[in-house]
Structure 1
Amino acid sequence: MAEAAILRPDDGAWADTLTKVRHDVYHLPEYVRLDAGLSEARPIAFRYAEADRVLLLPLLLRQVPDTDFWDAVSPYGYPGPVSNAAAGDLGFWSRAWSAFTDLMCAHGAITAFVRLHPLLPVPASPLSSAGTLVRHGETVSIDLRDTAEEMWRQTHRSHRNQIGKARRAGITVVFDDWTRYDEWISTYHATMRRVGATAFYFFPTTYFEELRAALAGKTHLAVALSETGEVLGGNLFFAYNGLMHTHLQSTRDGPINHADKLLYDEVRTWGRTHHATTTYHLGGGVGGAEDSLFRYKAAFSSGRQDFHTWRAITDPRAYEKLAGPPTPEALQSRFPPYR
């Protein structure tokens, strides 16, 4: 018998479902709750179950301005759907997405925008049948089961040279020295100003404090120090359930002597030696594009995987009131178009 439900973070069914499926830090209720606070959204998860098969999809519900409608969007990162159902069980996946559309509509949500997890893929055809699946490009990952020599071989020559220069300049990397947290946060905000980031990315200090508390033991800090002990930058990363992700990386204004590349090299070495991790996911370019950021990350490893988003209209009549009839262009570009 099929069951579909919307769960709140404190619902025990959320945590129980995660014990049955392979998942990442982005699927944890405490992560979704924290992310919801950044946009005054409501943290939820869609759960669908049939017998011993189950699916979970974390989401943020946001009120559409000047309306009584809501829409759903993924939390920051890669919190796509996870399930213990076989990829070939297309009937289960199709019924799950049909139930998702019906339940979201019943809860007043008119659209959903979902970022899929590049390392935890799900069948594409049921998603395409229930909405629009968009491929944005590739992300970069490092297989931590490789030897140190193999990882170094996959690193581009220019990156290897600059990592060597950083070491010769006396730069060192320390891990989980939280007395450096405030200094690193300052370098993060400096980086956001330097790249012209939108207001969303200027996370308040309270966010960083709450992130460390909510994901204790899963959030780690690598800080690059100059020969005189100055903080040059750092890498705030997750290590959980066999997977590592750089959450935020930053460098200070001014000369850093290639500390950024040394940080990635040291973090992947840490992953090989300190945790039972199998993959270090560096992510991709801005919006999944194969841009300069993607090429920078790609120079660390040959590991690649596709990155997709999924867009669904869960209440067509309400959608048309706000955006008119859906067009292929509207479904493939910035979604939802009324935002």
Structure 2
Amino acid sequence: MAERALITGDHRVAQLVDDAGRAAETDDFFRSRAFYEAEGVSHSLIVGGDSGDELALPLLVHGIGDSGQLDAITPYGYPGAAIRVDRSSPPDPGALDWSATGLVSIFVRDRIGHAPCFAGGTRRSAVQVHDPSRKRQIRTRFAEQIRQNERLGYHVEALPGPSTTVEHRLSFHSVYTETMRGVEAAERYFFEPDYFKAILEYERSWLFLARSPERATAAGAIVVRSDDMLHYYLGGTAEVHRPRSPFKNVIAATIELADEFGVRLNLGGGVKPGDGLEDFKRGFSNAELPFITHEIVCDPEAYASLGGNRRDTRFFPAYREPEAG
């Protein structure tokens, strides 16, 4: 790890370490080496004082156009921070010294179902959850379609990630990519097969594949375990099978896995609160949890000079908002 010196006394400092996220690793998927390598994590952000390091976050550091400035973002999903010292209250970003980071801003995606890693934060959305300790709730027409698909010969394979074959992963890549094209997803949501190979090397990951009566892959999902929960991570349905909606059978199978382990299953949310995707997931959930993010401006002057102080957008950082059209 790169050398760093913590500022002593009551002054708490945030520092950026060029270590590919090693200081922020834990046994949980969203802070695992497999995930960091797949996502391209480049640095750790370490917050500490004279009593030692309090927390460490994985970051992807990027240049900001031709400005010569840098900003950072945590990887996709729900990584939050590796908590090294459990304080009674999380650190307040406004009270930290960010000058040593050399960053303009940081966008942090927090953990689900746990206290936030920083004080404050934005309730970005809610995720739908299946909680095994509560009565199972599956929308009636969803349950009917699941049973009908089973009668037609659709079945779901639940495969431990490390045991998946090239055929398994390529068939999932095909249905996932087809789905992303169908919804005109941003480029960020398209992945090469090697990405799936990397994340499925994590020991507590699973690939669910719905097979048609002809044994073609009709739908699929990747589920991972992190922070004492199962998380639906990525999924999709082959266009030709979409009318039968075999993805419902996949979700039902992931709920069975959560019940087997006795842990909550995070089904995620929608693209926007209240949209059709969120409503679909609500059809399987019996609880919900907040998804918290933190929008941290490390260098207010640089942020303002880049056009970040706009009030007409919720996008963060504002200077990276995609142009309309």
Q: TM-score range by the shorter chain?
A: 0.7 to 0.9
Q: Does structure 1 retain, via aligned residues, the 8 Å contact 2:34–2:198?
A: no
Aligned equivalent of 2:185: 197
Q: How many matched pairs?
A: 303
Say which of 101, 104, 121 aligns to 1:107: 101
Q: 1:309 and 2:306 equivalent?
A: no
Q: What code does the residue aligned with 2:254 have? A: V
Q: 1:171 and 2:171 equivalent?
A: no
* Structure 2: distance between partners of 1:55 and 1:280: 26
Q: Deviations over 1:149-190 (max 9, x none)?
A: x32xx1111211111111111111112253322112111111
Aligned equivalent of 2:305: 321
Q: Does structure 1 retain, via aligned residues, the 8 Å contact 2:173–2:193?
A: yes
RMSD: 2.6
Q: Deviations over 1:194-244 (max 9, x none)?
A: 11112222211222222223x2x1221110011221110111111245321
Name the % identity.
24
Aligned equivalent of 1:335: 316
* Structure 1: distance between partners of 2:206 and 2:44: 26
Say which of 282, 298, 301 aligns to 2:267: 282
Aligned equivalent of 1:27: 31
Q: Does structure 2 retain, via aligned residues, the 8 Å contact 1:241–1:277?
A: no
Provide structure 2 residue ranges, at least 5 long, that are not aligned to the other structure.
1-7, 321-325
Q: 1:140 and 2:121 equivalent?
A: no
Aligned equivalent of 2:91: 93
Q: Does structure 1 retain, via aligned residues, the 8 Å contact 2:237–2:247?
A: yes
* Structure 2: distance between partners of 1:321 and 1:97: 20
Aligned equivalent of 2:111: 117
Q: 1:229 and 2:212 equivalent?
A: no
**Cα 1:277–1:53, aligned 2, differ >3 Å: closer, same or farther?**
farther
Aligned equivalent of 2:233: 247
**Cα 1:122–1:202, aligned 2, differ >3 Å: closer, same or farther?**
closer
**Cα 1:14–1:8, aligned 2, differ >3 Å: closer, same or farther?**
farther
Aligned equivalent of 1:39: none
Aligned equivalent of 1:47: 46
More helix by share: 1
Aligned equivalent of 1:72: 72
Q: Does structure 2 retain, via aligned residues, the 8 Å contact 1:10–1:29?
A: no
Q: What code does the residue aligned with 2:115 have? A: P
Q: Does structure 1 retain, via aligned residues, the 8 Å contact 2:21–2:59?
A: no
Aligned equivalent of 2:245: 258
* Structure 2: distance between partners of 1:223 and 1:192: 17
Aligned equivalent of 1:161: 144
Displacement of 1:52 in angstroms is 7.3
TM-score (norm 2): 0.83
TM-score (norm 1): 0.80
